[in-house]
């Protein structure tokens, strides 16, 4: 929601120098001072990292820049000091080559940058909330706290043209880091399709509550919006609103972990992965994961990656090998090795389905996905 260029514009003009101007329109989700170069354990997508490179040698600095790009960082801000008089030209060239925004700063504290970002974020959220119908957003929030009065419930039913047992849909954004301009486009699109839709901005995300009868029309229009990715939950009734909202949050986590590429993903699109939303993670682990399979996952990361890629490529060896940058014969050899180690038959449909579920569960567990 915050553009890098907008953040830099809030800083004193002589305090920064943009070394890679191609990234001015990068979206920034958070600003963080780097505590450790082992960023994979703490970075989030589009995070702007502040550092002085203190304690890093030339090789570690290059690895850091590449790693930041691989983990979708929003950019790198490097503070010049008595130990770092100038950012090496090879690091500037590297950042330009891979497309990672690089900014050098001086005579400014990290805290000033973080405070400027925080204020921009507050202003952006307030701008979105002001663009919504305040009364119905208030009703949306009361739905979450289960505090609706009978009169408010009646007004809600009338607006959505429903009775208590009628079906509803809840739609939200999969990617939270959008500009205010795109939020406005989304809101206008929904209102033009269905003036009775109820919109709420909760925890930095936009939620759209609609009558199921309007779902297909709104979906067809939302998928035309560039740079926005949506998720939609299963059908539900108004008394199950809180569960529907929680399920939608789990769908967001699931689709981000499993790297779905569609710009509109509904509960129906999840296929067999619905299991991970519907059942507690611990129950699935106890039921599906054998000690042999867990040991295989820990000891054979390359084989597991090859097998998951094969499954995600519709069992097409040529397509999977291309994604893995290996020869099809190499992939065939790896799959035979999997069959031997796990004593499975990759021509047996039921074994393929079971193994695919188990591998996705292990992958989600590794990524920290959990449903209680």
Helix axes 317-324, 328-342, angle to 10 degrees: 100
Residue 95 near residue 15, CB atoms below 8 Å? no
What is the CB neighbour count within 10 angstroms for residue 105?
Answer: 21
pLDDT for 23 equals: 62
pLDDT for 229 equals: 92
Measured distance CA(98)–CA(112) in Å, rounded: 28
Residue 202 DSSP one-character state: E
What is the CB neighbour count within 10 angstroms for residue 73?
Answer: 25
Which of 179, 130, 218, 265 has the alpha carbon at shortest distance from 209?
A: 218
Measured distance CA(48)–CA(66) in Å, rounded: 14
Q: Which phi-psi region, left, alpha or beta, contains residue 62 (left: φ > 0; alpha: ψ -120 to 50)?
A: alpha
Q: Which CATH superfamily is domain 2-119 in?
A: HprK N-terminal domain-like (3.40.1390.20)
At residue 82, what are phi and psi to the nearest 5 degrees? -70, -20
Integer CA distances (angstroms), 75 to 4, 26, 120, 228, 236, in order:
8, 8, 17, 21, 41
Positive or negative, the CA dihedral 214, 219, 221, 225 is positive
Radius of gyration over every alpha carbon of the chain, rounded to an integer in angstroms: 24
Measured distance CA(179)–CA(1) in Å, rounded: 4
Say whether 191 sits in a helix, a strand or coil. helix
- Residue 81 parent element (H or E): none
- Residue 313 parent element (H or E): none
Residue 168 near residue 211, CB atoms below 8 Å? yes
Longest dimension (CA), the chain: 69
Strand pairing class (230-232; 168-173): antiparallel
**Cβ-proximal residues to 333 (8 Å cutoff; 6+ apart), any chain:** none
Residue 86 near residue 4, CB atoms below 8 Å? no
Measured distance CA(40)–CA(67) in Å, rounded: 8
- Tell me the sheet residues that pair with 75: 48
**Cβ-proximal residues to 156 (8 Å cutoff; 6+ apart), any chain:** 139, 143, 148, 198, 238
**Cβ-proximal residues to 90 (8 Å cutoff; 6+ apart), any chain:** 62
For residue 94 the two structure tokens come to 């590297």
Tokens 């994979």, residue?
40
pLDDT string in tens for the chain (372-residue length): 688 888 988 999 889 998 876 666 777 888 999 877 777 777 888 899 999 998 888 899 999 999 898 888 889 999 988 878 889 899 999 999 888 999 999 989 999 999 998 888 777 767 777 778 889 989 998 998 888 999 999 999 999 999 999 999 999 998 766 777 888 899 999 999 999 999 998 877 899 999 999 999 999 999 999 889 999 999 999 999 999 999 999 999 898 888 788 899 999 999 889 999 988 999 999 999 999 999 999 999 999 999 999 999 999 999 999 999 999 999 999 999 999 999 999 999 999 999 999 999 999 998 888 898
Which of 68, 61, 104, 109 has the alpha carbon at shortest distance from 86?
A: 104
- Domain 132-270 coded CATH 3.30.70: yes
- Tell me the sheet residues that pair with 209: 170, 198
pLDDT for 21 equals: 67
- Tell me the sheet residues that pair with 206: 201
- Residue 259 parent element (H or E): none
Measured distance CA(85)–CA(79) in Å, rounded: 9
């Amino acid at each position: 929601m915050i553009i890098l260029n907008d953040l830099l514009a809030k800083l004193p003009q002589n305090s920064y120098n943009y070394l890679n101007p191609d990234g001015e329109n990068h979206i920034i989700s958070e600003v963080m001072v780097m505590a450790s170069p082992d960023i994979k354990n703490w970075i989030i997508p589009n995070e702007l990292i502040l550092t002085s490179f203190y304690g890093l040698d030339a090789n570690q600095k290059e690895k850091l820049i590449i790693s930041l790009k691989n983990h979708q960082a929003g950019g790198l801000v490097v503070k010049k000091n008595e130990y770092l008089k100038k950012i090496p030209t090879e690091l500037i060239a590297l950042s330009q080559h891979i497309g990672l925004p690089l900014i050098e700063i001086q005579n400014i504290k990290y805290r000033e940058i973080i405070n400027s970002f925080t204020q921009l974020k507050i202003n952006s959220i307030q701008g979105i909330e002001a663009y919504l119908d305040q009364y119905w957003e208030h009703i949306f929030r009361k739905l979450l706290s289960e505090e609706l009065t009978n009169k408010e419930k009646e007004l809600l039913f009338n607006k959505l043209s429903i009775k208590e047992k009628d079906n509803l849909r809840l739609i939200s954004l999969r990617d939270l880091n959008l500009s205010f301009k795109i939020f406005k486009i989304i809101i206008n699109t929904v209102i033009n399709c269905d003036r009775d839709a109820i919109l709420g901005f909760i925890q930095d995300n936009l939620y759209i509550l609609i009558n199921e009868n309007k779902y297909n029309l709104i979906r067809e229009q939302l998928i035309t919006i560039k740079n926005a990715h949506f998720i939609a939950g299963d059908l539900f009734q108004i008394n199950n609103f809180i569960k529907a909202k929680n399920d939608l949050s789990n769908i967001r986590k699931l689709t981000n972990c499993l790297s779905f590429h569609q710009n509109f993903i509904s509960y129906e699109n999840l296929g067999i992965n619905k299991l991970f939303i519907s059942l507690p993670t611990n129950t699935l682990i106890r039921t599906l994961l054998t000690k042999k399979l867990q040991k295989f996952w820990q000891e054979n990361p390359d084989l597991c990656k090859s097998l998951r890629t094969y499954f995600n490529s519709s069992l097409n060896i040529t397509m999977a090998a291309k994604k893995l940058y290996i020869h099809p014969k190499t992939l065939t050899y790896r799959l035979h090795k999997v069959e031997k180690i796990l004593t499975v038959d990759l021509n047996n449909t039921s074994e393929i389905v079971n193994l695919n579920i188990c591998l996705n569960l292990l992958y989600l567990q590794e990524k920290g996905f959990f449903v209680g």
